[in-house]
Amino acid sequence: MHFLLHFLFPPSPHSETTSPTPPIPAPSPQTPPTPVTDSSSSSSAALSPGVSSAPRDLKVLRVSSRFVSVSWSAPLRPNGALHTYGVFYSQDGTNRERSVNVSEPESLELTVSNLKPEENYSFRIIAYNENGPGESSEVLRVNTKPDLEVPSRVRSLSALALSPTAVLVSWEPPLHPNGPLSGFRLHWTEASTGNEQTLDVSATSWKVDGLRKFSQYSVRVQALNRFGPGTSSDPVSVTTFSDVPSAAPLNVTLEVVLSRVSNPLRTHLRTHLRTHLRTHLREGESRGEGPVGGE
């Protein structure tokens, strides 16, 4: 009967056929995305075991318009030998953090250069051992100084010995004073000892007194404005004179050659010259300059 019905009424070509729906696989657990953080977000939970504790006592040593020098103390728990320290710094208002490593693991200070004037920076330190980076120090905030417009070099520096104890130093003002000049800073250094002395002056020449006899000195000059001393000049060298003679000359003789002068005039000139020389030498003896020699 079923066969007869199928033969009399075949299926229409436009009717849908239902096929078994393949099973939908169960959703696999998704891998959580890796958080995107800058290098400043350091948490102790993400640290590897056996890393160093945080460096301590982070502080500023020097600040200028373009660099900052910082120092710190070693961590209390280094957990082994430390390989290096990393100094991390960033400028306020930016998401970028830079880092510089010290060249020696024993070094506990570093100067960070190429900064911008009058900007706020944040600094922190991390110690590294064989297990990787350790805990971060506390953040230190530093404000760089304004960019200083100091004078350029003075020009035409010269030094001239005047006596065994004095030198005259002269120069010309700088081409770029960057504002009104407040004076000049004069430096002179004795070559044999390396001792340097400094004097602020207002003129473009100065007599330096109280130097050692027959000694070599190095002299340099800086121009000054409201921002401070400018670039130093190249040094020049000068040597003071040796001392004056300690006594009058001995055994002085006089020979007058007047071949073409008559005998009376020759005798008069010889007598006059001898008298003048004798008087000069006796004046020297009276001043304590030594005995007077013969004629």
Beta-bridge partners for 155 = 172
Please name which of 231, 234, 179, 171 lies closest in space to residue 201, comparing C-alpha atoms.
Answer: 171
Task: Count CA atoms within 13 Å of residue 166 on its CB side.
Answer: 6
| pLDDT: which is higher, 153 or 287 | 153
Task: Give phi and psi for 83, each to the nearest 5.
Answer: -90, -35
Residue 59: its pLDDT value, please?
Answer: 96
> How far apart are the C-alpha atoms of 86 and 191, rounded to whole Å?
42
Averaged pLDDT for residues 196-208: 96
Cβ-based burial of 75 (10 A; exposed 0-12, middle 13-18, buried ≥19): buried
Cα(165)–Cα(218) distance, integer angstroms: 14
| pLDDT band, residue 288 (cuts 50/70/90) | low
Domains 48-143 and 155-239 share a fold: yes
3-state secondary structure of 223: strand
Domain spans of the chain, in order of start: 48-143, 155-239, 246-295
pLDDT of residue 287: 56
Q: How far apart are CA 272 and CA 154, in angstroms?
A: 56
Q: Regarding the domain delimited by 48-143, which CATH topology (the fold level of the hierarchy) does it fall under?
A: Immunoglobulin-like (2.60.40)
d(CA 186, CA 221): 5
Indicate if the alpha-carbon torsion angle 294, 274, 286, 249 is positive or negative.
Answer: negative
Q: Which residue has the higher pLDDT, 222 or 246?
A: 222
Average pLDDT, the chain: 80
**Cα of 205 vs its chain's centroid, Å:** 28
Interval 169-181 mean pLDDT: 94
Residue 118's pLDDT band (cuts 50, 70, 90): confident
| Residue 275 φ/ψ, nearest 5 degrees | -65, -45
CATH number for the domain running over 155-239: 2.60.40.10
The least confident of 31-40, 51-60, 202-211, 278-287 is 31-40
pLDDT > 90 in the chain, percent:
54
Residue 178 confidence (pLDDT): 87
Q: Is 80 exceeded by the pLDDT of residue 167? A: yes
- Cα(281)–Cα(249) distance, rounded to whole angstroms? 9
pLDDT over 70, % of the chain:
69
Provide the pLDDT confidence category of residue 149 given band limits of 50, 70 and 90.
Answer: confident
Strand, helix or coil for residue 183: strand
pLDDT of 19 above 50: no
- Using the predicted structure, report yes or no on whether residue 27 has a pLDDT greater than 70: no
Confidence of residue 228 (pLDDT cuts 50, 70, 90): confident
Q: How confident is the model at residue 42 (pLDDT cuts 50, 70, 90)?
A: very low
